[in-house]
Amino acid sequence: MMAKTTLDSGWLAARSTEVHFTGTQLTTTHPPSASTQPWMEAIVPGTVLATLVKNKAVPDPFYGLGNEAILDIADSGREYYTFWFFTTFQCKLSGNQHCDLNFRGINYSADVYLNGHEMVLPKGMFRRHSLDVTNIIHSDSSNLLAVLVHPPDHPGSIPPQGGQGGDHEIGKDVATQYVQGWDWMAPIRDRNTGIWDEVSISITGPVKIIDPHLVSSFFDNYKRVYLHATTELENRSSLIAECSLSIHVTTELEGNIHLVEQLQTQNLSIPARSRVQYTFPELFFYKPNLWWPNGMGKQSLYNVIITIDVKGHGESDSWNHHFGFRKIESHIDVATGGRLFKVNGEPIFIRGGNWILSDGLLRLSKKRYETDIKFHADMNFNMIRCWGGGLAERPEFYRCCDYYGLLVWQEFWITGDVDGRGIPVSNPNGPLDHDLFLFCARDTVKLLRNHPSLALWVGGNEQTPPDDLNVALKNDLKLHPYFGHAEEKEKPVGDLSPRLGDPSQYLDGTRIYIQGSLWDGFADGEGDFSDGPYEIQNPEDFFTDSFYNHGFNPEVGSVGMPVASTIRAIMPSEGWQIPLFNKLPNGYVEEVPNPIWKYHKYIPYSNPTKKVHDQIQLYGDVKDLDDFCLKAQLVNYIQYRALLEGWTSRMWKKYTGVLIWKTQNPWTGLRGQFYDHLLDQTAGFYGCRCAAEPIHVQLNLATYFIEVVNTTSEELSNLAMEVSVWDLEGTCPHYKVHENLTALPKKVTPIVDMKYLKSKNPKPVYFLLLKLYKMSDNTILSRNFYWLHLPGGDYKLLEPYRKKKIPLKITSEVFIEGSTYILQMHVQNTSKKPDSKSLTMVHSSTARQSSGCFVTDSLETVDSGTGKEHEVGWFKGIHKCFAGKSHGLKVSEINGQDTGETMTIKISFEVPSGVSPCVTLRGWNYQGQTIHEALY
Q: Which residues are catalytic?
A: 462, 555
Q: Distance between CA atoms of 31 and 17, rounded to whole angstroms?
A: 17
Quick one: the chain helix, strand, coil %, rounded to 5?
Answer: 15, 35, 50
Strands (E), 361-515: 383-386, 407-411, 454-458, 512-514
Q: Distance between CA atoms of 551 and 650, rounded to whole angstroms?
A: 10
Q: Distance between CA atoms of 787 and 606, rounded to whole angstroms?
A: 20
Q: Which residues pair with 274 in a beta bridge?
A: 235
β-pair type (383-386, 350-355): parallel
Backbone angles phi, psi at 565, to 5 degrees: -65, -30
Whole-Å CA distances, 349 to 87, 336, 838:
49, 12, 38
- In this structure, the dihedral spanned by the alpha carbons of residues 672, 674, 680 and 683, taken in order and rounded to 10 degrees, is 110
Are 450 and 295 within 8 A, CB to CB? Answer: no
Whole-Å CA distances, 656 to 351, 542, 616, 693:
9, 15, 32, 16
Whole-Å CA distances, 824 to 296, 806, 907:
27, 21, 6
The DSSP secondary structure of 123-177, one letter per residue, reads: S-SS--EEEE-TTT--TTS-EEEEEEEEPPS------TT--TTTTSGGGGSSS-S
Helices then strands (H, E): number in the chain? 12, 46
3-state SS class at 369: helix
Count other C-beta atoms under 10 Å from residue 63's C-beta: 16
User: Residue type at 221?
Assistant: N
Count other C-beta atoms under 10 Å from residue 169's C-beta: 20
Angle at the Cα of 175 from the Cα atoms of 403 and 129, rounded to 5 degrees: 70
- In this structure, the dihedral spanned by the alpha carbons of residues 711, 712, 716 and 721, taken in order and rounded to 10 degrees, is -40
Core vs surface per residue 791-823: b (16+ CB within 10 A) or e: eeebbbbbeebbebebbbbbbbebebeebebbb
Please name the helix (run of DSSP H) or strand (run of DSSP E) that holds residue 24, with its range, or none: helix 23-26
User: Residue type at 64?
Assistant: G
The DSSP secondary structure of 188-245, one letter per residue, reads: -TTTT-B--S-EEEEEE-SEEEEEEEEEEEEETTTTEEEEEEEEEEEE-SSS-EEEEE
3-state SS class at 667: coil
Alpha carbons within 13 angstroms on the beta-carbon side of residue 515 total 17
Q: Distance between CA atoms of 511 and 379, rounded to whole angstroms?
A: 26
Count other C-beta atoms under 10 Å from residue 57's C-beta: 13
The DSSP secondary structure of 830-880, one letter per residue, reads: ----TTS--EE---EEEEE-TT----------EE-SS--B-----------
Sign of CA dihedral 629, 630, 635, 641: positive
